Each structure stands twice: as structure tokens, then as C-alpha cells.
Amino acid sequence: MKCLRLIMNISWTEMRTNDWVLEEAGVERSLLKTVKERKLTYFGHIMRREGKCLEKDIMQGTMPGKRNRGRPRTNWWGNVKEWTGLTMEEMIRLTEDRRRWRTFVHYAADPRNEDG
């Protein structure tokens, strides 16, 4: 945002919102979409692996031991579940077909599908 304001010669004292600056520049925010796509793509890659592996155990949350007190930390599965709205079984079945998973990731990561 700072670079856009410098390029467009907008002073910080003009009290313009970030949304206004983005609209005037004709630019869309794409960082969140990129992060979601990469994270979901990597999730599918790991879930397609055969047998047991450390990454798969970590993503599925099947590590032994107790968790710490307090609010549960946000984990891979929590993010993927929130972005896709599917259960673990549905997600694993969907990742087995690479072509369907890629299409699904494209639509799940699209920020225009989000509310707000």
C-alpha cells in the first residue's frame, strides 16, 4: 500500500482508505489467494503420499502427546477445513484425483468467493 501511495502521489495526510487507493489504482489484492492456493496444493501433495510420513501425521493432527493449556492453535487442518468446508474423509478422497483437486483448489482459494 505504501508503494501504491508513493506512485500515485497520495500523502498520508489525505486520509484515503486502502480500498479507495486500490480502486483508483485498478489493483486487486492477490496475496491471500496465493497463500491459500499454495497451502491447499501442498496439502493435496502430502495427502496423496503412500504410507505413513511425518508431514501427513502433522497435518492430520495425529501426533501423540498432550496439547498445552489455553486456546487451541490454528493448524493446517483447521485452515483447510475453513477454506473448503469439507470433512477429513471427503478431503482425502478429493485429493486422490489430482485433476479434480486442482480445480477445487482454484475455486476454494478465489477471494471473490469469500463473504466480506
pLDDT of the chain along its 116 residues, tens only? 888 899 999 888 888 888 899 998 888 877 888 888 998 999 888 888 887 788 887 777 666 777 778 887 777 778 888 888 888 888 888 888 899 988 888 888 875 654 44
**Does any domain span residue 55?**
yes
**In sequence order, which residues have a C-beta less than 8 Å from that of residue 91 and are 6 or more positions away?**
47, 80, 81, 84
Residue 9: alpha-carbon gap to chain centroid = 33
Question: Structural domain tally of the chain?
Answer: 1
Give me the pLDDT at residue 58, please.
Answer: 74
Q: What is the Cα gyration radius of the chain?
A: 19
Residue 97 within any structural domain of the chain: yes
Q: Residue 115: its pLDDT value, please?
A: 45
Examine residue 16 and state whether it is found in any structural domain, yes or no. no
Alpha helix stretches (DSSP H) within 1-116: 2-7, 18-25, 31-47, 54-60, 76-84, 88-96, 98-108
What pLDDT does residue 38 have?
92
Which residues span the domain enclosing 93?
31-65+72-113
Give the C-alpha separation, 9 to 46, whole Å: 46
Task: Please indicate, yes or no, whether the overall pTM of this predicted structure exceeds 0.85.
Answer: no
Number of other CB atoms surrounding residue 79 within 10 Å:
15
